[in-house]
């Protein structure tokens, strides 16, 4: 599978959100990555259902919704109704993770589980076979523009081994600090999906930067 690129809308210009959504539509990006923060699970607040619905109105590609919130089970149906195609909840926020995964599957969305930098991938061993996407946080969640945590490479390796061991079809998504320099190495390590925020939206040509990220796999020796 060719690497998927998911630009993070959190880094877009919200004064020109329709323009930025259309740019992603016209680019080689595969998904829209939408970060939802509640100010409790992470020390920041982003946006909720009205903004997601507004993005969905113009988006022609799947919405990859990352819930950085407490008690995500309460809101799964509402986010699915608002247009999410993929929903990722945090392992650290779910008391009954297996039940949460089942709920997402029943809603007809791809079930994702995200883990923070300090969380070992081995903790997913009992549910990895039911997960569609594992989001490895390569920065501490809550803010864009943070420096990439290099231990992520070994976590990708551990996760890839766990996926093989458990005969899972889960895809590995990397979220945080992804740029044009580390993208080839992340793909080489086993990443399937790259989330990029500031790297895309601070570029002189965001649409060209997305293309360069998409072509990163060609740089693998």
CATH of the domain at 161: 3.20.20.70
**Looking at the 3D structure of the chain, how many domains does it have?**
1
For 87, the domain range is: 4-219
Rounded CA-CA distance 53/152 in Å is 32
Q: 150 burial class (0-12, 13-18, 19+ CB within 10 angstroms)?
A: exposed
pLDDT surpassing 80 at residue 220: no
Rounded CA-CA distance 163/167 in Å is 6
Residues catalogued as catalytic = 35, 175
Q: How many CA atoms lie within 13 A of 57 on its CB side?
A: 9
pLDDT tens-digit map of 103-158? 999 999 999 999 999 999 999 999 999 999 999 999 987 666 678 999 999 999 99
Total-model pTM: 0.95
pLDDT surpassing 80 at residue 161: yes
């Amino acid at each position: 599978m060719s690497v998927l690129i998911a630009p993070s809308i959190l880094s877009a210009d919200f004064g020109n959100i329709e323009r930025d959504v259309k740019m992603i539509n016209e680019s080689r990006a595969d998904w829209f990555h939408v970060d939802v923060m509640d100010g409790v699970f992470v020390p920041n607040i982003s946006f909720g259902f009205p903004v997601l619905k507004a993005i969905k109105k113009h988006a022609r590609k799947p919405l990859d919704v990352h819930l950085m919130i407490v008690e995500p089970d309460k809101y799964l149906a509402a986010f699915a109704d608002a247009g999410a195609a993929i929903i990722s909840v945090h392992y650290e926020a779910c008391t009954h993770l297996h039940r949460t995964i089942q709920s997402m599957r029943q809603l007809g969305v791809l079930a994702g589980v995200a883990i923070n930098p300090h969380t070992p991938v081995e903790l997913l061993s009992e549910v990895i076979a039911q997960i569609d996407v594992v989001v490895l946080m390569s920065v501490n969640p809550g803010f864009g523009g943070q420096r990439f945590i290099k231990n992520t490479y070994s976590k990708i390796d551990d996760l890839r081994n766990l996926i093989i061991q458990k005969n899972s079809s889960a895809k590995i998504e990397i979220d945080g600090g992804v740029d044009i320099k580390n993208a080839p190495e992340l793909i080489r390590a086993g990443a399937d999906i790259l989330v990029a925020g500031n790297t895309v939206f601070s570029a002189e040509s965001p649409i060209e930067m997305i293309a360069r990220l998409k072509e990163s796999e060609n740089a693998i020796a």
